[in-house]
Amino acid sequence: MTIPFYKYQGTGNDFIMIDNRQSVFFKNNAKLVASLCDRRFGIGADGLILLENDDLSDFKMVYFNADGNEGSMCGNGGRCTVAFAKHLDIISDTATFTAVDGRHKATIDNNRVSLQMQEVSEIRVKLECLFLDTGSPHHVQMVKGLTNFEVFAEGKKLRYGLYGKSGSNINFVEQLDDTTFAVRTYERGVEDETLSCGTGVTAVALAMHKTGRTTANSITVKTQGGNLKVEFQQDGDSYTNIHLIGPAQQVFKGEVEW
């Protein structure tokens, strides 16, 4: 079988995008997904995303990690799917879509996508870190010397040693100024450091506000692949109206055979 695919990236977080509105993709085949995401023997990507029909919204986003398993919410993937939907003329400049964690709204202006994330009502503050779920689980930890920090080794150790098989994404953060933070993320499912993680960036912004490191409700987070902005409102102990904002771009398109 031969089907067309597109490659999208959002601040270096890259995805294979497939229009699956005609149910052409064998989405229960984890080996196939993993092989397509392999950077040496396949197309290469942090994940694979299917855009499908949805009765209650403009489209449905189905996200698979690079290991071939269906994943939790992916923020950069969501932004890239919105850009892909615009390319397919499914939407114009606004969208409502369904993901694994529920309904999302988004706007797109050229290649800049603002994605509304789910509300966050619980942030667990631990001795040296915070834990919260922004559609995916995230460990947030402050470090010094982030540029030279051993993200892969330390991330892998915490991902399995602290959070077990189900795991958590691990974010290491350094504050740059009152409203700007740098982050590097070890992602479960990819089992490596990625250049950017949208739900991780969202988690970092909320965690920094929760711990009083910033009082701003518009925060810039610098990833290895570029800058993202997170805007939100605080309502008591909850964070609402959360938006993840940044670029999403088509890199290339082609056909894949299997």
pLDDT (0 to 100) of residue 181:
98
Residues 127 and 237 in one domain: yes
Residues 207 and 222 in one domain: yes
pLDDT (0 to 100) of residue 127:
83
Residues 133 and 154 in one domain: yes
Residues 143 and 106 in one domain: no
Handedness of CA 61, 65, 71, 76 (dihedral sign): negative
Residue 128 CA from chain centroid, whole number? 24
Residues 106 and 17 in one domain: yes
Active-site positions?
74, 197
The Cβ-side half-sphere exposure at 234, using a 13 Å CA radius, reads 16
Residues 111 and 134 in one domain: no
The residue whose two tokens read 């810039």 is 220
- Looking up residue 167, the CATH number of its domain turns out to be 3.10.310.10
Inform me whether the pLDDT recorded for 6 exceeds 90.
yes
Residues 160 and 99 in one domain: no
pLDDT digits (tens, 9 = 90+) for 216-234: 999 999 999 999 999 999 9
Q: Maximum distance among all alpha carbons in the chain?
A: 54
Residues 189 and 212 in one domain: yes
Give the span between the Cα atoms of 27 and 9, in whole angstroms. 21
- The tokens for 185 are 């993320």
| pTM tops 0.85 | yes
Residues 128 and 230 in one domain: yes
Residues 141 and 213 in one domain: yes
**Boundaries of domain holding 56:** 2-117+248-257
Q: How many domains does the chain have?
A: 2
pLDDT digits (tens, 9 = 90+) for 154-188: 999 999 999 988 889 999 999 999 999 999 999 99
Residues 79 and 188 in one domain: no
**How does residue 258 score in pLDDT terms, banded at 50, 70 and 90?**
confident
pLDDT digits (tens, 9 = 90+) for 185-213: 999 999 999 999 999 999 999 999 999 99
pLDDT (0 to 100) of residue 79:
98
